[in-house]
Amino acid sequence: MTSDAVRAATLVRALHAGIDHDRRAAADVFTEDVRTWTPAMSTSSRSELMSELDRRDDAFSNLRLEASPLDVGGDFACAEWSVTMTHTGPLLVADGKVVDPTGVQITLHGITVAEFRGDRICSLRQYWDELSVFDQLGLLSG
């Protein structure tokens, strides 16, 4: 049986794998049939997840992740996190509009809930406020 501490460490490794586009780490922490959901994507397999990670745009750089695992038992792990990043590339928004790079540094706060099968993540859900990104970039004032 996998301990809560090991699950928490695996979840933090999975979060870093997503930020760093680390395919090897992702293969180690996710099951083949992992199901993921975030405000930005939904996948039903590790290969779909890897494809989504590969096609992410370059709107943001200098990404720094801070994650704090929360105490959750059973087959689940949970972490609160924040990502600080700089808007250095074109950002595609609704209706095909593109926001030119602003150079603004923003911080996004969120939470991730992971379900485990053995020592690997079989389901992952992330929650964050997408509007906070637009607000920090000055796109909501008007």
Domain annotation for the chain: domains and CATH numbers: 4-136 (3.10.450.50)
Q: How do strand 30-38 and strand 120-128 relate by DSSP bridges?
A: parallel
- Report DSSP state, residue 45: S
Strand, coil or helix: what is 95? Answer: helix
d(CA 68, CA 49): 23
Residue 62 backbone dihedrals phi, psi, to 5 degrees: 55, 40
The angle formed by the CA atoms of residues 53, 91 and 131, to the nearest 5 degrees, is: 90
Tens digit of pLDDT per residue, the chain (142 long)?
A: 567 888 999 999 999 998 888 889 999 999 999 999 998 889 999 999 988 887 777 899 999 999 999 877 789 999 999 999 999 999 888 788 899 999 999 999 999 999 999 999 999 999 999 889 889 998 887 6
d(CA 17, CA 53): 9
Is 64 within 8 Å of 84 (Cβ atoms)?
Answer: yes
